[in-house]
A and B are shown apart, each in its own frame.
Chain A
Amino acid sequence: MKKLLLLILASLLFVGCSAEPAPEETKKVLRVAFGGDVLSLDSTVATDGVSFEVLTAFTEGLVEYDANDATLPGSGAAESWTVSDDGLEYVFSLKKDAVWSNGDPVTANDFVFAWRRLVDPALANEYSLMAQNAKLVNADAVIAGTLPVEELGVEAVDDYTLKVSLETPVPWFIPLMTFPSFFPMNEKFVTEAGDNYATGPDFLLSNSAFVLTEWVQGSQIVLAKNDKYYDADKIAIDGIEISIIADPQTVKLQYDQGNLDVAAMSGDLVTGYVGTDDFVPIRKGYTWFMPFNQKSDNAAVLNENFRLALAWAFDREFIVNEKLNDGSIVADGFVPRGLAASVDGVDFRDAAPKYFGYDPVKALEYWEAAKAELGVDTVTFELLVGTPGDDSGLAAGAPEYIKAEVEKNLPGVTVEIKTVLKKERLDLMKPARAEYDVALTRWGPDYADPLTYLQDLLVTGSNYNYNNWSDPVYDAMVAEVAPGGALSTDLDARWAKLIEVEAYALDTAIVVPLWQTGSAMVIKPNVKGIEYHVLGMTNYKRATID
């Protein structure tokens, strides 16, 4: 018996020793960890961040962000463009030396084909809404099926000239073109692949710096440098190897052992890297905030002083530093930092005031005022939150912290936390149901303009007006700065007005901004030049490995 055991142990050891050393790493391959799997590599079907990241690595849209978040002519497939005086027509001249990885040239028709595919009602693509955001002529009617896809406001004037027509001027149209939903597709290739399109490396083409060479679902995505790319001689790395690892502990072990060059860290795991060369905090556009449902039958939620009391009753700094610790920052306002800048390049957050803070005395004053107005001594309300982990980006323990602070600083207030899955939270919050008092939710920007928050979440009748707030004065202010509004072409006046719009909403604390998400990346110090953007996807084109 003992012999048998020894034999087993010995054979296990033998297996261990027989490990051959890894072959000498001569190729400069960037090894990146992703927490989730790619859901679709068809750019008209994809809707999630991971898929967008991978798509962006091997597909080039009309424009790309540079390191300073600018979208300049020549940064992508478009060499240059002109805009008509009324802002309704964009004519793009495409680069003539750009080719797909099968050798076909990248033409204007590739964009027309892809965009029509995006809005085709027969395909029912979720992100056809991006064509609506871009205000493409007839987007609504084509998506609804009342007009054929050929009526969409995009046409190929010739092989290298693309004309786009808009229904109203959209100040953020060019940055919007970085979004993967607007990527081109090679019509002949896609049609030949049929249902197999985007199911693997053989059924995908690249027109960018890297080309997909391997995709093992749920495990690995390998990209190699694309030699056919027109700027191939400027690409310094030989490829990108993406491992999908869901467990953060495992990511840390892999990184520490040197099997990864780039990974995102969260929670307690970040602490070990803060202060080292590996630690790179990056900023994302998501703003977490607290909406107050104005359809709630809880009178306190409708009371301005009560909302203000809540806004001042807990320390957002504490949540960011102690509960998140991942590079997130306190949201001083509703519009996130790094989203939009004035004509002079001043960030919206630097131009606008800071809102709210931690001040128990002030909170108590508001609470006393609210009690008098409501004629009550105690208030109980429900705080609807998602399940940590499922509701990605929600700081674990933040709801409990808010509850504890609010109940301590506002005597008589009781917070009842209701935890559900994220999908259920969103369902309860949607205006058609509106079954909640106060919630913790987040919003990611759809385009590089404050309106992606100030209009889409707060004007009367918007699908995402979770507050069910309706204020004619506010709606009128937004109408002035919206596409086609009185100020839509006077950019300086528009900018000043946008600051007023945010102030109007936050002075009533109809929403309380909490934090702007960040992501703590760890990157090996010999890796440089990976560009992260608040709104756009990660750009690996200028990455180097020493």
Chain B
Amino acid sequence: MFKYITRRMFWSIVTLFTILILLFLLLQFLPGTPFNDEKLSEASKALLNAKYGLDQPFFSRFGIYMKNILTEFDFGISLSIQRNWMVKNIVLPRLGISVRIGLQALALGTFMGIILGVLSASKKNTWVDTLATLIAIVGVSIPSYVFALLLSYVFGFKIPIFSIIFNFNDPIKSSILPTIALSMFVMAQVTRFLRTELIEVLGSDYIRLVEAKGVSKFKVIYRHGLRNALISVITILGPLTVTLLTGSLVVEKVYAVPGIGSLLVNGILTNDYNVIVMIAFVYSALYITMNLFVDILYGIIDPRIRVAKGA
């Protein structure tokens, strides 16, 4: 297991390194420059390019970029979003809130999804099942923008329980609506996958044997069924993290959450290369960590998938 984790971590680092290279290459193709003001003269543009090192040859820029990131974790200074600020001073204060809402949504969505999934699988073809499936379908089909707006309209405006926008002075309560909005998709996916898997597991021979022994239905589901069915849920947790990252762009906008989603969009629109790189790097690192975590969880939940032995 230890060897397996070490190997996986090694490959994670290689992947991150490759991402850094790809990011640098791709940004060369981003149209425009950080100095988009149409009223800027060519001479001033040349001065600006020189000041921010954008006039250097390709390989020299690439060298500086890799060296600064790898040796000092320095992503440079912002070219347009907060001109002349260190990028990490822009990204890091905003990272916490995005990650927190993301994790809250992941936890809430998975938890609710498991409850709904178990309910609908154990009460298959009853009204409970229909209702749970309906919720799941709605959750997958409604765009998060619409759902987020609906939530803020109903629980922020019509019945003003929560604030409409995120509020730093009340970060817990004002993050509830964004969390729910973001968790809908997770909940729906988990419900659907768990229901299908659990129905299959519950129909298998060993479950019949357990039932034949006279074990209570509750124990059958929770001790013998769910643990097997959860593997399917864990498989989708990795990809779901990506949905959370992209979903956060929308949810952050609706609730005016000062997270990194909106920052990334602005970075791309204004060619703030260093900001784009740092956020893309952080997103990649989060995603890779999530996948690593999922792989390790596999081994814990199902001894049959301890890949290390085979490898």
Interface core residue of A15, A39, A122 (most chain B CB under 10 Å): A39
The answer to whether B43 touches A126, judged by C-beta atoms less than 8 angstroms apart, is no
The answer to whether A124 touches B38, judged by C-beta atoms less than 8 angstroms apart, is no
Assess whether A121 is interfacial by the CB under 8 Å rule. yes
Bound-state CA distance A172–B40 (Å) is 21
The answer to whether B94 touches A253, judged by C-beta atoms less than 8 angstroms apart, is no
9 sample A-B contacts, Cβ–Cβ < 8 Å, listed by A number: A1-B118, A39-B81, A42-B84, A217-B90, A218-B262, A219-B258, A250-B255, A423-B32, A423-B270
The answer to whether B173 touches A1, judged by C-beta atoms less than 8 angstroms apart, is no
Assess whether B223 is interfacial by the CB under 8 Å rule. no
Assess whether B254 is interfacial by the CB under 8 Å rule. yes
Among A39, A124, A195, A247, the residue within 8 A (CB) of B256 is: A247
The answer to whether A218 touches B263, judged by C-beta atoms less than 8 angstroms apart, is yes
Bound-state CA distance A422–B268 (Å) is 12
Residues of A within 8 A of B80 (CB): 39
The answer to whether B258 touches A129, judged by C-beta atoms less than 8 angstroms apart, is no
Excluding A19-B161, A249-B149, 18 further A-B contacts by CB distance (< 8 Å) are A15-B173, A39-B81, A123-B51, A126-B37, A129-B40, A199-B89, A218-B262, A244-B256, A245-B165, A246-B262, A250-B165, A253-B157, A253-B164, A254-B165, A426-B38, A427-B32, A432-B42, A464-B38
The answer to whether B161 touches A16, judged by C-beta atoms less than 8 angstroms apart, is yes
For window 33-52 of B, CB contacts with A under 8 Å fall at: 33, 35-44, 47-48, 50-51
For window 19-61 of A, CB contacts with B under 8 Å fall at: 19, 37, 39-40, 42, 45, 47
For window 176-196 of B, CB contacts with A under 8 Å fall at: 176
Residues of A within 8 A of B258 (CB): 216-219, 244
Give A266 Cβ to nearest chain B Cβ, in Å: 15
The answer to whether B153 touches A4, judged by C-beta atoms less than 8 angstroms apart, is no
Bound-state CA distance A5–B83 (Å) is 49
The answer to whether A126 touches B48, judged by C-beta atoms less than 8 angstroms apart, is yes
- Given contact pairs A246-B256, A247-B253, A144 touches B43 in the complex (Cβ within 8 A): yes
Residues of B within 8 A of A424 (CB): 31-32
Give B115 Cβ to nearest chain A Cβ, in Å: 7
Residues of A within 8 A of B160 (CB): 257
Residues of B within 8 A of A220 (CB): 168
Assess whether B82 is interfacial by the CB under 8 Å rule. yes
The answer to whether B42 touches A463, judged by C-beta atoms less than 8 angstroms apart, is yes
Bound-state CA distance A250–B251 (Å) is 11
Bound-state CA distance A100–B51 (Å) is 31
The answer to whether B164 touches A427, judged by C-beta atoms less than 8 angstroms apart, is no
Interface core residue of A216, A218, A243 (most chain B CB under 10 Å): A218
Assess whether B143 is interfacial by the CB under 8 Å rule. no
Residues of B within 8 A of A390 (CB): 269
- Given contact pairs A220-B168, A247-B256, A421 touches B32 in the complex (Cβ within 8 A): yes
Bound-state CA distance A247–B256 (Å) is 7
Assess whether A102 is interfacial by the CB under 8 Å rule. no
The answer to whether A218 touches B31, judged by C-beta atoms less than 8 angstroms apart, is no
Assess whether B238 is interfacial by the CB under 8 Å rule. no
Among B44, B162, B262, the residue within 8 A (CB) of A129 is: B44
Bound-state CA distance A312–B41 (Å) is 34
- Given contact pairs A37-B266, A421-B269, A124 touches B164 in the complex (Cβ within 8 A): no
Assess whether A377 is interfacial by the CB under 8 Å rule. no
Bound-state CA distance A121–B51 (Å) is 9
| Interface of A toward B, CB cutoff 8 Å | 1, 4-5, 12, 15-16, 19, 37, 39-40, 42, 45, 47, 121-124, 126, 128-129, 143-145, 195, 199, 216-220, 243-247, 249-250, 253-254, 256-257, 259, 390, 421-424, 426-427, 430, 432, 446, 463-464
- Given contact pairs A253-B153, A257-B164, A245 touches B256 in the complex (Cβ within 8 A): yes
Among B31, B94, B165, B257, the residue within 8 A (CB) of A427 is: B31
Residues of A within 8 A of B42 (CB): 432, 463
The answer to whether B173 touches A129, judged by C-beta atoms less than 8 angstroms apart, is no
Render B240-269 as a binary contact track against A, CB cut-off 8 A, 1 for contact.
000000000000011111110011001001
The answer to whether B44 touches A250, judged by C-beta atoms less than 8 angstroms apart, is no
Give A473 Cβ to nearest chain B Cβ, in Å: 26
Residues of B within 8 A of A254 (CB): 164-165
Residues of A within 8 A of B37 (CB): 47, 126
Residues of A within 8 A of B33 (CB): 423
3 nearest CB pairs, A to B? A218-B258, A423-B32, A16-B161
Bound-state CA distance A42–B42 (Å) is 23
Bound-state CA distance A215–B42 (Å) is 34
Assess whether B11 is interfacial by the CB under 8 Å rule. no
Assess whether B271 is interfacial by the CB under 8 Å rule. yes
The answer to whether B39 touches A446, judged by C-beta atoms less than 8 angstroms apart, is yes
Assess whether B152 is interfacial by the CB under 8 Å rule. yes
Residues of B within 8 A of A15 (CB): 173, 176
Bound-state CA distance A525–B255 (Å) is 26
Give A3 Cβ to nearest chain B Cβ, in Å: 12
Residues of A within 8 A of B149 (CB): 249-250
Bound-state CA distance A254–B269 (Å) is 27
Residues of B within 8 A of A39 (CB): 80-83
Render B14-34 as a binary contact track against A, CB cut-off 8 A, 1 for contact.
000000000000000001110
Bound-state CA distance A109–B256 (Å) is 41
Give A14 Cβ to nearest chain B Cβ, in Å: 11
Residues of A within 8 A of B32 (CB): 421, 423-424, 427
Assess whether B119 is interfacial by the CB under 8 Å rule. yes
Bound-state CA distance A245–B167 (Å) is 12
> Which residue of B has the minimal Cβ distance to A18?
B173
- Given contact pairs A1-B119, A45-B84, A247-B253, A124 touches B262 in the complex (Cβ within 8 A): no
The answer to whether A219 touches B256, judged by C-beta atoms less than 8 angstroms apart, is yes
